[in-house]
Amino acid sequence: MAREFSRTERVGSQMQRELSVLVRDDLKDPRLGMVTIQEVRVVRDFSHAKVFFTTMGSESDHLATTQIMNKSASFLRHELGHRMKLRTIPQLKFVYDDSIEHGARLSTMIEEAVEADQAKHQEE
Instruction: Report the CATH number at residue 12.
Output: 3.30.300.20
Residue range(s) defining the domain that contains residue 84: 7-97
Task: Write the pLDDT tens digit of every residue in 53-101.
Answer: 998 877 778 888 899 999 999 999 999 988 888 888 899 999 998 887 7
Position 121 in a domain: no
Q: Say what the pLDDT of residue 3 is.
A: 63
pLDDT > 80? residue 32:
yes
Q: 61 Cβ partners below 8 Å, 6+ apart?
A: 33, 55
Q: Say what the pLDDT of residue 39 is.
A: 92
pLDDT > 60? residue 27:
yes
> Whole-angstrom Cα distance, residue 37 to residue 26?
14
Position 84 in a domain: yes
Position 1 in a domain: no
Position 34 in a domain: yes
Name the domain count of the chain.
Answer: 1
- CB contact at 8 A, 35 and 61: no
pLDDT > 50? residue 1:
no
SS3 content of the chain, % helix, strand, coil (to 5): 55, 20, 25
Position 112 in a domain: no
Position 115 in a domain: no
Position 107 in a domain: no
Q: CA 75 → CA 38, 40, 72, 78, 113, distances in Å?
A: 20, 17, 5, 5, 47
Position 104 in a domain: no
